[in-house]
Every structure is written in structure tokens, then in C-alpha cells.
Chains A and B, each alone.
Chain A
Amino acid sequence: MPPALAAALAPVRRPVLPALPVRAAGLALLLAVAFVAIPLTATDYWYNAILIPFLIMALAGLGLNLTMGYAGQASLGTGAFMAVGAYATYNLLLRLPELPLPVSLAGGGLIAGAVGLVVGLPSLRIKGFYLIAPTLAAQFLIEWVFNQVGWFSNYASSSAISAPRLVFLGYDLSSPAGRYALTLTSVSVVTVLAWRLVGSQTGRNWRAVRDGETAAAVIGVPVARAKLSAFFVGAAVSGVAGALWAFAYLGTVDARSFDLDRSFQAMFIIIIGGLSSLSGSFIGAAFIVLTPILLTHLSNALLGGSLDGGQISNLQRILFGALIIGFLIKEPNGLAALLGRLRHPAR
């Protein structure tokens, strides 16, 4: 049997997960590290440059994963949805200061979700790779809108926005530790919600649409509703990530912070981490966020001053691209599957 045919007929390999008690213990350990160990030991640098961006990009990737990994709807609009979330949260914080911070964040996410819903409408007619086009159109259009329409950025001369004040329950969250707490809590809450959603009927409908749209329609899955809800939820999650990116990580963003490169980044995260795998979004985000930093440290340590910063960056780019291609070839189901197989070599 020609190898191509065999590959086409092989069953889809799902990441192999260990038994439930082991997973629960692992998760508990991870949460303990995140909520307890890190705040006790981390430095400013770790918060500001590593942990916070990692968590936020994981969330953005999670949003895209719901739309693309679970429901099979390709989307390059993640940057735009993040932008909507950021600007919406900003306006809520600015114009309705009585609302507590979490409500504004959630509100920003919901508004982003609504925008995602509209962007997802073409998916009812367009399938597969071509769906990239309307999401790209949205990406460029939304970036343009925030650049042009001064109202969104409160008429700042540069369409740049920054959080008025990050305060919750009287605590000022603007310190690195405070922002980390905000990010971690938000990401945890949203992840739990996503996990419940994925296990519910909606999640099953999504997977049905992804695996075979025509067949799903035949057996009565509400395809249109599934697609639109995938876009809604995915965009909402990315929107929350965008708001966090603006206020908990960078402090200031303008319309260009959420450009096409951001969308590509999110897509890389879920492909490398593993499509339709929640943990994959985190693993992928760790890879994408940490690799450049790691490479910088490595090249400083090993190569010292023999290559200038530019050459090192070019090497990093080459290495990054090669790693991406390598992963795509060798491990189609992403790092999540790779790690799963490391635990269970027999399968």
C-alpha cells in the first residue's frame, strides 16, 4: 500500500492521556506551583517578560483552538479579536468606572465574542482553507478601524490606550505580582469554562462539524449554530487575552500591537502545541514565548560577542522556522501528543 494512502487511512492519533488520578495529581501540582511557589520566588523579570506573556498567549491560543482545533474553522483573525477585547475593556473601564474590573474584562470578552460571531458568518458558506480570507479581512479592517476612529482610544493622538487604573477590591494590581495574580486568575477561570464547554454537547457538536461537516448535517447536528458559537466563544476568549495583553502585560497598546503577526503567533501556538487540546495551547505558548528568550540567553552564553545582535536574531529566525517545520512534519498532533507518548511509549 503506497505510504500516502496508508497515511490517509491511518486513524487519527489522539494525545494519549494518563489515568485520571495521575492527571489530577499533576494538575494539582501545576496549580500549586502557579499559585503558590511562583509568587514566593519569582523576580520582576520573570513576571514581566516570561510568565505573564506566556499565560496570555496561552489564552489567546486557547481561543483560537476552540474555533480552529475543536470546530475546524480556520481563522487568522485572533489579533483582531484581541484588539477588540482590549479596546472594549478600555472603554468600559473608562466610561463605566463603577463596574468592577472582572466585569469589565468579561464585558470586553463578550464584545469581542460578538464581533467574532459577525466575522464567522461567512463560514456558513465558505469552508476549509478559504475561510482564512474573511478572517484576514476582519484582521485588517478591525486594525484599521481602531487606528482611524478616535472615539475608541478616547481621541489620544496616537490611538494608543493604557489602563486607567487596575484596582480590584481595593487592591492595586499594577505591581508585577499583582498583574500576575490578575492574569493567572483570569486565565484559570476562562480555561475551566472552556474545559466545561468542550466536554458539553456544544463541544461535541464542534468536533462533529470539524470531522465531517456534511455527515454531521445529515445526522442532525446544528451546523450553523455550532460554527457561529465556535467563533463567538473563540473570539471572546481571545478578547479577554487581548485585554490582559494590553493592561496586565504591556501597559499600553495601539492598533498595531494586534496585527497579523499576532494572529500567526496564535496559530503557531496551537499547531505546535496540539490542535483540539487545551493543554496543547499552554505547551505551545510556552514554546513560542520562551524559545526566543532561551535562544538569546544561549547565544549570549555560547557565542558571546562573536556575532552581533542582528546576526543572532537571523539565526534565531532560521532556527524557529526550522523547528516549526520539523514539528509539523514529525509530530502532526503537536507537543501535547509528543509528551503524551513519552509517558506511554508502548502505544
Chain B
Amino acid sequence: MSRLSRVLGAAALAASLTAPFSLPSTAFAQEAGAPAAKQYIPLATYRVGAYASSGTPVWGGTIDYLRYLNEVEGGINGVKLTWEECETEWAVEKGVECYERLKGGRDGSPVPLFLPHGDPITKALTEKSAADKIPLLTTGYGRTEAIDGRVFPYSFTVLFSFWSEASSAINYIAEQVGGKDKLKGLKIATVYHDSPYGKETQVPLDLLAKTYGFENIQIAVPHPGNDQSAQWARIRQIKPDWVFLRGWGVMTAVAIKTAAKTGFPVDHIIGGIWSGSEEDVRPAGSVGKGYLAITPFPAGAEFGILKKIKAAIVDQGKSDLKDLKSFGSVYYNSGVIETIIAVEAIRTAQARFGKRPLTGEETQWGLEHLVLDEARLKELGADGLVQPLRLSIKDHEGGGAGKVLQWDGGKWNIVSNGWVKSDRELLLPVIYERAAAYAREKGITPRSEDTAEASAK
């Protein structure tokens, strides 16, 4: 090796190892002086990896809504928004690295909240974000116990936890068979992704089965779920009345195809939130017709806010989406919905703390006092899209209802009667128990409702 190349090699190595030092520091910068004009929101996204096709439409919805807010409404009460993406590949380490890198804020604006977008990432960040006082906002996924804000002040499983998903699915089935008393004796099989995400619904389904008297059969599908012939052969043997599909990624499409292959009626399969988007069903092709899914993110482009986004952003060529077919899809709308929730929480907090970029602590107050009633939703153009929400310290979920969609081969149609609610009165006590157990294990003292109010600035 010549001298020159050796020297270059050494220089490159040294540069690569010391470069991070020389790049702008992201130390937490919050001066007491003049407030910055823009609120910074970090976006942990994934555009590569096994789940990229599920993720890309979500960021499309989020970014389009943020652009709409900035351009048409001038931000939140005049405070415009800026954001930055950080690729996580849905992997824990990258999610943690993104969080650590971006949590300090930017240009004088602190981070108001963090959307982890991924179950494992959420779990890894739970304690860190509590220590950093940055609320984690997880809509339609995340730790169910975090509904109890007394133990999890900085984790918000808003809208629809997995327990609510299971319960709502059962309630929809009950509607189909003529009432909850008719559930007795039914066989309901859950085909689930063999991972913590998939197993999250085992406990609530067990409880619901005992309460309503149906038979609860759990069938595991190993990751990634390429080949489910054995599982569906078993289903053929068991002959359940309904199948609840808790899939993720490729598992959903293969499940639908295999079900059709083995003769199970596809219109008796209800998929959960993350088995319920166009990207999940399309690869199954024509056999997917009739497949049902329950989700807090209804599909469709007819909602008021979506029409506004279309006019102001999409039609002007400013959309983040490369494939405009995804506009109005379930995942695109999920991005819009969770951003609406985040923005409204910030707005609620601004009413108390001032119209400026807010900190995580202040946004946490906003989240815990978030009320989105029918009137406000109509104003936003989101009635029918976002369910009515009321959060509090004991209820970080706020809603707990979903709509049931049916695939007609080309698009989703809403087939449920409005929002199908879950059995919250039944589930909340168990959730509180689990939160208390977590608190005991970690040595956390749960907040009481009065001290929480008092400690807010």
C-alpha cells in the first residue's frame, strides 16, 4: 500500500471517528430570552425495512397536515411548526438514537411530544421520556397500562389501545350475531403475530371470553408469517365462527390468501388496526373481498379536513406522498388523526401557558386536559374521522372505540354503525391493576389527582 493511500486511509478513519464531535451539538437549548417563532416536532419515521410500505402513507398524512396548518391556518394560534424526520427502520436502537439526538429541540424550540411509531421503540423509551419529561404519544398502539396516567405521566396511549381493539371487535361480532347474549357458545379464534404486540390481546380476550361465554382460541404465527398453511389447516379443523386477525406486515396478506385457499369465509375475519389498511389487503388480490377490519382510523377522502388538505396541499403538488393513491387510505388518515391529536393538545396547553413553542411538561398538561367533543371535531372538519375524546389523568386513552371497515376489492367501506365502543368499565379495573403492579416493580409512586394539578406550572 503506497504512503499516500495509507495516510489518506488513516485520515479518513480519524475523521470518521471524530466527525460527530464537530457537528452541531444538540444540547438542550432553552434560553430565558426571546421565544423562537416556530414549534419544533421531531418525526421518527420508517421508510425502509420490512414495514416501510405501512409507514410511508402515515408520514404522508402527518406532513401534509402540518403543511396545511402552516400555510392555511398560520400554525397553532400563530405559532408555526417545523419538523424533522429521523429514520428508525422500525428498529429499537435507531428509534432510541433518534430520540436521544432530537430530544433537545431545535432553534430554541423544545420538543413538545414524541411519536415513537413502533411498539418496541415505545417500550424502550417509556422510562427515558418520563425522565426527560417529554410525553410519548402512541395512537392505536403502545402500552395498554399507560392508560393509567397516575403511574405513566408521560405515556399516552390515546384513542384505541389494543385491549380496546379486542373488546370492540368482540362487540362488533356481538352486533352481527344479534346481541352480546348470543356470544355464548361461539368459537372465536385469534390468529396473532407471535410477538409482544400480538400477545397483548390475550389477557383481555381471556377476560371477555369468561364474561360472555365464548370460546377463545389463540393461534400463533411466527414472524414474519410467510407461510400460514399449518395455522389455517388447524382453523379448518376447529371450525371457528369468527377469526380475529392480529397481524403486522406481510402476515395479513398471507393470512387472507391462505384463508381463502382453505375455504374459510373471508368475511368472517376481522383484522385489527395494523391488519386493516389498503397496503395490507391489496397484495391478497381478489380473494380479499369481504374482509373486515376494525380501526380507529377510518378510510376515505370525504372528511372535511381531508378535502381541505386535498385542495391546499395535494392538488398544489405539495404532498409528501409519492404515490397519491394512498391519499385517504387508512394509514394516511392515521397520520392525519394522530397529528390532529398532537396539535390540539398543544393548542390546549397554549391556552394555559401562552402562545409560544411549548415544552414537554406543558404539552403533557395539554394532553391530560384534551377534550375533543363533537362541536370541536365539526370545526376541525374531523367528525367521523376522529372519535370524541376526553383525556384525564386516569384515562390517557380518552376514546376506546373503532369503526369496522369492509374491503370491496378496491377500497374500504365503513360497515359499522358509527363508532363501536369497547367495554371500558370491564377492562379499566384490570388495566389499573397492571399499572399498579408495574409501579410496585419499579418503585414508582403513583400521582394522585390533586398533586398532579398542583404540580403543573
Contact = CB atoms under 8 A, between A and B. Distances in A.
Contact of A310 (B47, B92, B94, B128): B47
Contact of B17 (A249, A253, A286, A311): A286
Contact of A342 (B10, B94, B101): B10
B52 interface: yes
A188 interface: no
Interface in A293-344: 293-294, 296-298, 301, 308-314, 317, 338-339, 341-342
B178 interface: no
Given A165-B443, A254-B123, A310-B52, A48 B100 contact: yes
B97 A293 contact: yes
Contact of A297 (B3, B19, B49): B19
A342 B441 contact: no
Complex A-B, nearest 7 residue pairs according to Cβ-Cβ distance, in ascending order: A310-B47, A158-B196, A309-B87, A313-B48, A49-B97, A49-B100, A48-B100
Nearest to B96: A250
Given A158-B199, A309-B87, A345-B6, A44 B23 contact: no
A318 B87 CA distance: 16
Contacts of B415: none
A89 to B, nearest CB: 15
Contacts of A191: none
Nearest to B201: A157
A279 interface: no
Contacts of B443: 164-165
Contacts of B416: none
B124 A53 contact: no
A158 B200 contact: yes
A45 B85 contact: no
B86 A309 contact: yes
Nearest to B202: A157
B199 A251 contact: no
A251 B124 contact: yes
A252 interface: yes
A159 interface: yes
A43 B26 CA distance: 9
Contact of A147 (B27, B87, B96, B194): B194
User: By DSSP majority rule, is chain B's interface helix, strand, loop, or mixed?
Assistant: helix
A166 to B, nearest CB: 11
Most-contacted residue by chain A among B93, B94, B194 (CB, 10 A): B93
B101 A45 contact: yes
Nearest to B102: A45
B195 interface: yes
Contacts of B339: none
Interface string B114-127: 00000010011011
Contacts of A312: 87
Contacts of A147: 194-195
14 contacts: A45-B101, A49-B101, A158-B199, A159-B196, A164-B442, A250-B93, A252-B127, A256-B120, A256-B223, A257-B92, A293-B20, A297-B23, A309-B87, A317-B48
Interface in A147-167: 147, 154, 157-160, 162, 164-165
A309 B85 contact: yes
Given A44-B100, A296-B87, A290 B48 contact: no
A50 interface: yes
Interface string B178-212: 00000000000000001111011011000000000
Nearest to B48: A313
Interface of A: 43-46, 48-50, 53, 147, 154, 157-160, 162, 164-165, 174, 249-254, 256-257, 286, 290-294, 296-298, 301, 308-314, 317, 338-339, 341-342, 345
Contacts of B364: none
B48 A48 contact: no
Contact of A301 (B23, B126, B202, B442): B23
A341 B196 contact: no
Contacts of A338: 9
B20 A297 contact: yes
A43 B101 CA distance: 10
B89 interface: yes
B241 to A, nearest CB: 26
B277 interface: no
Contacts of A249: 96
Given A338-B9, A342-B9, 7 more contacts: A157-B434, A250-B92, A251-B126, A297-B20, A312-B87, A314-B48, A342-B10
A46 B199 CA distance: 35
A317 B47 CA distance: 13
B252 interface: no
Contacts of B45: 309
B111 to A, nearest CB: 13
B126 A294 contact: no
Given A252-B126, A254-B196, A313-B87, A308 B20 contact: no
A157 B3 contact: no
A298 B434 CA distance: 44
B96 A157 contact: no
Contacts of B230: none
B25 interface: yes
Interface in B21-77: 23, 25-27, 45-49, 52, 56
Contact of B123 (A49, A252, A297, A308): A252
Given A257-B120, A297-B19, A309-B87, A159 B442 contact: no
A308 B320 CA distance: 10
B454 interface: no
